[in-house]
């Protein structure tokens, strides 16, 4: 059996005495799209923030490409090839779009080929090329998400995590962004984790899914095989 | 895990026995002052401790409880020093009138400044308070009526006996503690703590932020002024630099940090330590600030809640608790 | 003509005030820390140049070759191993640590250098040049050149290097910067290094222009504050404009009213635009 690209084992994390993530197990294979769905406050963001190094775990292990990345700092995890597009994009508002993208290739390995990657990103997002001199703070919500995705791509990641990429965007823009995510997945063979509240869209895009509730994974499986009733029950915990 | 700790309630020592202990301690202190049990020298230390407790208490009320970190309380110290000096030396009034004047002047200045200062938050507020104090220093340095830089002498006739000064200082000190304690246990106190923790949220749930800030700021100005007034009677002369200097804030920060910010008992402990430390360090000229600075840094690294804050957490009791209900603390 | 003379002097001196503010604004904008020890750093920079210039037998300006790297390194280590640790405990502890540092440094300098007034003298300290009716002090021109060169170098560095970009990104959003592969603690340390290096330059400038004492730090801290707040925290162009405004106030108001005018100016700015001219 081949080792998974990202392997989360019994991971727990919390804030003070409050445990937000409770012994979560999750596997992501190379080239797979995974969706992680759940209600507001179910612990999705804490889970992936812990994986990406923004939050410390209290127990458990995270393995990525056969090396232990548990509780490494965020910048070390990025240079290993795991990138997170945080909620709301979090662009550097006072910097130009191009500077935002170039920031994405800050890790040494990515810096060497930043010119080629930049061309590739502009190919994927022609809008960004047009706006490359504008400060990121002046972009619209959808454009800012694109810039954030572009920035994450600049690190040449093997695995990309999107935290609620569709939050606050119009259905047309969401559709467009999803189309590009799938394109990235197919053309670069990049594994993708989609964190979503919009169950239908996430399931449609992904190969397999995990449902999180109150800090625990309550259901997982192949996205195509789940019926809506089981899903609804797991999602709301009834 | 910490579950066991959580179930142990915090003992809040503020019931009747605590009140009796307090009254007893205060009575003994009054007796020591008025019956001249202590030597003049000891009494001088006591006066200093009482006055520093008052100033520390007020700075703590501003910074530790209301989140208004002021770097400019020396404004009211300087104003009080000059009020007392002008009242006694220029207008030939009694010391009592001088002290009342110092409070009145400070309250008026605080009310006027509040319009300006309360437009700012956090860092900007801190800097603005300091700048105002510096501006007043420059003003007094070039003001002919107060003899500019050469300072103003305080002429109190008849000069009060040391035990009287001691008793008055004690009264001011007890009053300041009582006011802070009572203030914190009213609805206002709840509003203040909410403001410190999150200003926007506090105003969203209906805390009148301006009025709360004003109340605290004016109380702090008044008490700081009256204690400073007494301080300068002891010194006999006030200069712009000695009145409006930043070193007053240095002392207040030290007292509150060492004792424990956000506790009523913290500034009391801090002031006692500060006065003794100052005395001790007087033998090592040049080293005093180095040692005070090092102690501050060590306390921040190893006792981030100050002496009283850490003690209360370790032993799980609270003297003069600001809480109206006692919850077991999380963490 | 009198008006032009004042304007020129104000601008020349203003560059020094801007320089004082730059280190403060860097730390506030990037590390999100109010550094109460900045004034002492400036005075330390002045002492280093005062001691080194006669020792090496060179013009005081040349001492920057030693003081700037030395102060940069101290700032880097100080932040990385010390202030950074305090910042993990919260904003107030970090502020108090810089406060503790400032009083320690002040007394340490008092013991090492005594309480005597110090002044850095260069061969051109007293000379002036005349352009028409305009009389310009050579010293002011030198100070202006030093300030402009330092601030431009810094701006260029921030704008066009990888590290500079990482610094700007961290100032905008430190979490997002970490997610882009930036070691945020290292960036903070570099920022503190730059702030202390700028304090070395500012120290040389104020030491050449005015007499100073170990206790002068508080005054310089306050000036930095005033300049930075007028300009808007974290904004280098704002700091430069505010520096010139401050310089003009000093020249117009003279020794007695210069500071008073600038304090009133600051309070007026704060009332009208509570976050400074360029603040957001």
Exposed / middle / buried, residue B313 (Cβ in 10 Å: 0-12, 13-18, 19+) = middle
Name the residue in chain B with its Cα closest to that of C258: B138
Q: Which residues of A touch B1 (CB under 8 A)?
A: 17
| Interface touch C104/B300, C-beta < 8 Å | no
In chain C, residues with a C-beta closer than 8 Å to the C-beta of B138 are 257, 259-260, 263
- Phi-psi sector, B114: left (phi>0), alpha (psi -120 to 50), beta: alpha
pLDDT over 70 at A19, yes or no: yes
Give B-chain residues touching C97 at CB under 8 angstroms. 296-297, 300
Q: Mutate one of C171, C180, C189 to test the A interface: name it (highest A CB count within 10 A).
A: C180
Q: Is C277 within the bounds of a domain?
A: no
What pLDDT is attached to residue B17? 74
Domain count, chain B: 1
Contacts of residue A151 in chain C, CB cutoff 8 Å? 180
Q: Cβ B296–C226 below 8 Å, yes or no?
A: no
Q: Which residue on chain C is closest to B135 by alpha carbon?
A: C260
For residue C17, being part of any structural domain is answered with yes
Under a CB-based contact definition with an 8 Å cutoff, are residues B79 and B225 in contact?
Answer: yes
Domain annotation covers residue B2: no
Q: Kindly provide the residue ranges of all beta strands, DSSP E only, lying in A82-215, ordered along the sequence.
A: 82-85, 159-163, 191-196, 208-213
Strands (DSSP E) contained in chain B are 11-13, 152-153, 237-238, 317-319
DSSP one-letter string for B216-235: HHHHHHHHHHHHHHHHHHHH
State the helix-helix crossing angle for C38-56 and C64-78, rounded to 10 degrees: 150
Put simply, whether A118 touches C (Cβ < 8 Å) is no
* Residues C166, C94: Cα–Cα separation, whole Å: 23
Residue C133 sits in a domain whose CATH number is: 1.10.3470
Question: A75, C181: Cβ pair inside 8 Å?
Answer: yes
Q: Is residue B254 part of a domain?
A: yes
Displacement of CA C255 from its chain's centroid (Å)? 21
Q: Compute the distance between CA of residue C71 and CA of residue C91 in angstroms, rounded to an integer.
A: 24
Residues of B contacting chain A (CB within 8 angstroms): 1-2, 6, 330-331
Mean pLDDT of chain C: 91
Confidence of residue C189 (pLDDT cuts 50, 70, 90): very high
Tell me whether residue C149 is in a domain. yes
Nearest neighbour of C270 by CB, restricted to B119, B130, B139: B119
Per DSSP, the three-state class of A138 is helix
**Whether this model's pTM surpasses 0.90:** no
pLDDT digits 0-9 by tens, B55-96: 999 999 998 888 888 989 999 999 999 999 999 988 888 888
Domain encompassing residue C265: 2-272
The angle formed by the CA atoms of residues B60, B61 and B65, to the nearest 5 degrees, is 95
- Winning range, highest mean pLDDT, from B7-16, B245-254, C15-24: C15-24
Query: Does any CB of chain C come closer than 8 Å to the CB of residue B208?
Result: no
Mutate to test the interface with A, among C179, C183, C189, C279 (most CBs of A within 10 A): C179
A79 and chain C in contact, CB less than 8 A: yes
Give the span between the Cα atoms of B230 and B177, in whole angstroms: 17
Per-residue pLDDT band at B7 (split at 50, 70, 90): very low
- Residue B103 is part of which domain span? 13-319
Q: Name, in order, each residue with C-beta under 8 angstroms of B49's C-beta and a sequence gap of 6 or more.
A: B271, B272, B275
Residue B293 has its nearest CB partner, among C104, C233, C257, at C104
Q: Which residues of C touch A90 (CB under 8 A)?
A: 173, 175-176, 179
For residue A37, the cross-strand partners are: A196, A211
Nearest to A28 by CA among A64, A55, A69, A72: A64
The answer, yes or no, to whether residue B212 has pLDDT greater than 50, is yes
Whether B7 maps to a domain, the answer reads: no
Task: Give the ipTM of the model, two decimals please.
Answer: 0.87
C102-151, pLDDT tens digit by residue? 989 998 999 999 999 999 999 988 899 988 888 899 999 999 999 999 99
Mean pLDDT along residues C251-255: 85
Q: Are B59 and B252 in contact (CB under 8 A)?
A: yes
Q: What are the structural domains of chain A?
A: 1-81+159-238 (3.40.50.300), 88-156 (no CATH)
Task: Please state the domain count of chain C.
Answer: 1
The C-alpha atoms of residue A22 and residue A13 are separated, in whole angstroms, by 7
Classify residue C261: in a domain, yes or no: yes
Neighbours of chain C (3+ CB pairs under 8 A): A, B
């Amino acid at each position: 059996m081949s080792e998974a690209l990202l392997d989360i084992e019994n991971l727990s994390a919390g804030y003070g005495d409050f445990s937000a993530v409770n012994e979560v197990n999750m596997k992501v294979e190379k080239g797979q799209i995974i969706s992680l769905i759940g209600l507001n406050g179910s612990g999705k963001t804490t889970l992936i923030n812990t994986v990406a190094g923004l939050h410390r775990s209290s127990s458990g292990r995270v393995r990525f490409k056969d090396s232990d990345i548990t509780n490494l700092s965020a910048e070390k995890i990025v240079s290993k090839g795991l990138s997170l597009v945080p909620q709301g994009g979090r662009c550097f508002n006072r910097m130009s779009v191009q500077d935002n993208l170039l920031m994405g290739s800050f890790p040494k390995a990515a810096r060497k080929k930043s010119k080629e990657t930049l061309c590739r990103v502009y190919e994927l997002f022609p809008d960004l090329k047009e706006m490359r001199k504008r400060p990121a703070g002046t972009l619209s919500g959808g454009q800012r998400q694109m810039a954030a995705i572009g920035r994450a791509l600049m690190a040449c990641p093997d695995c990309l995590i999107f935290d609620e990429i569709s939050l606050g965007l119009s259905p047309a823009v969401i559709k467009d962004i999803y189309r590009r995510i799938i394109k990235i997945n197919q053309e670069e063979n990049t594994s993708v984790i989609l964190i979503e509240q919009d169950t239908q869209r996430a399931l449609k895009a992904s190969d397999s899914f995990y449902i999180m509730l109150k800090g625990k994974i309550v259901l997982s499986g192949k996205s195509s095989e789940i019926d809506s009733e089981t899903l609804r029950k797991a999602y709301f915990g009834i | 895990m910490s579950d066991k700790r959580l179930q142990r309630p915090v003992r809040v020592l503020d019931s009747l026995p605590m009140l009796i202990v307090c009254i007893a301690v205060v009575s003994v202190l009054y007796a020591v002052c008025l019956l001249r049990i202590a030597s003049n020298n000891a009494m001088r230390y006591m006066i200093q401790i009482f006055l520093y407790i008052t100033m520390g208490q007020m700075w703590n009320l501003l910074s530790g409880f209301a989140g208004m970190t002021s770097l400019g309380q020396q404004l009211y110290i300087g104003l009080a020093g000059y009020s007392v000096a002008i009242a006694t030396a220029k207008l030939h009034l009694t010391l009592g009138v001088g002290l009342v004047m110092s409070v009145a002047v400070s309250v008026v200045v605080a009310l006027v400044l509040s319009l300006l200062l309360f437009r700012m938050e956090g860092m900007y507020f801190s800097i603005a308070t300091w700048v105002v104090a510096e501006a007043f220093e420059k003003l007094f340095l070039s003001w002919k009526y107060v003899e500019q830089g050469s300072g103003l002498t305080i002429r109190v006739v008849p000069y009060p006996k040391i035990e009287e000064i001691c008793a008055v200082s004690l009264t001011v000190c007890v009053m300041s503690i009582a006011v802070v304690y009572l203030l914190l246990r009213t609805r206002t106190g709840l509003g203040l703590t909410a403001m410190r923790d999150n200003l926007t949220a506090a105003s969203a749930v209906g805390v009148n932020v301006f009025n709360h800030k004003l109340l605290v700021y004016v109380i702090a100005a008044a008490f700081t002024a009256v204690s400073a007034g007494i301080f300068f009677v002891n010194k006999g002369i006030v200069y712009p630099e000695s009145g409006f200097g930043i070193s007053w804030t240095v002392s207040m920060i030290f007292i509150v940090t060492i004792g424990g910010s956000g506790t009523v008992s913290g500034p009391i402990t801090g002031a006692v330590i500060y006065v003794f430390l100052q005395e001790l360090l007087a033998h090592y000229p040049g080293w005093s600030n180095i040692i005070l600075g090092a102690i501050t840094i060590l306390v921040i690294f190893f006792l981030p809640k100050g002496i009283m804050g850490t003690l209360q957490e370790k032993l799980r009791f609270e003297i003069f608790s600001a809480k109206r209900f006692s919850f077991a603390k999380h963490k | 003509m009198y008006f032009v003379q004042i304007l020129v002097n104000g601008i020349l001196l203003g560059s020094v005030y801007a320089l004082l503010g730059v280190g403060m604004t860097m730390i506030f904008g990037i590390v999100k820390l109010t550094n109460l020890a900045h004034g002492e750093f400036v005075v330390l920079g002045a002492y280093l140049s005062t001691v080194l210039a006669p020792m090496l037998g060179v013009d005081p300006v040349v001492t920057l070759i030693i003081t700037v790297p030395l102060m940069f390194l101290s700032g880097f280590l100080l932040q990385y191993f010390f202030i950074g640790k305090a910042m993990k405990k919260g904003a107030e502890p970090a502020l108090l640590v810089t406060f503790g540092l400032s009083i320690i440094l002040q007394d340490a300098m008092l013991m090492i250098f005594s309480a005597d007034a110090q002044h850095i003298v260069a061969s051109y300290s007293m000379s002036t040049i005349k352009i028409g009716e305009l009389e310009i002090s050579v010293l002011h021109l030198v100070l202006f050149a030093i300030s402009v060169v330092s601030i431009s170098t810094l701006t260029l560095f921030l704008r066009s290097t990888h590290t500079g970009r990482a610094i700007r990104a961290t100032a905008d959003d430190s979490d997002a910067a970490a997610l882009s592969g930036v070691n945020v603690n290292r960036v903070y340390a570099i920022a503190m290094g730059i702030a202390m290096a700028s304090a070395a330059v500012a120290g040389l400038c104020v030491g050449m222009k005015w007499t100073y004492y170990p206790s002068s730090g508080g005054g310089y801290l306050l000036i930095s504050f005033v300049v930075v707040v007028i300009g808007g925290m974290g904004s280098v162009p704002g700091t430069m404009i505010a520096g010139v405004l401050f310089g003009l106030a000093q020249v117009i108001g003279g020794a007695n009213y210069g500071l008073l005018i600038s304090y009133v100016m600051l309070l007026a700015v704060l009332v009208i635009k509570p976050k400074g001219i360029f603040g957001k």
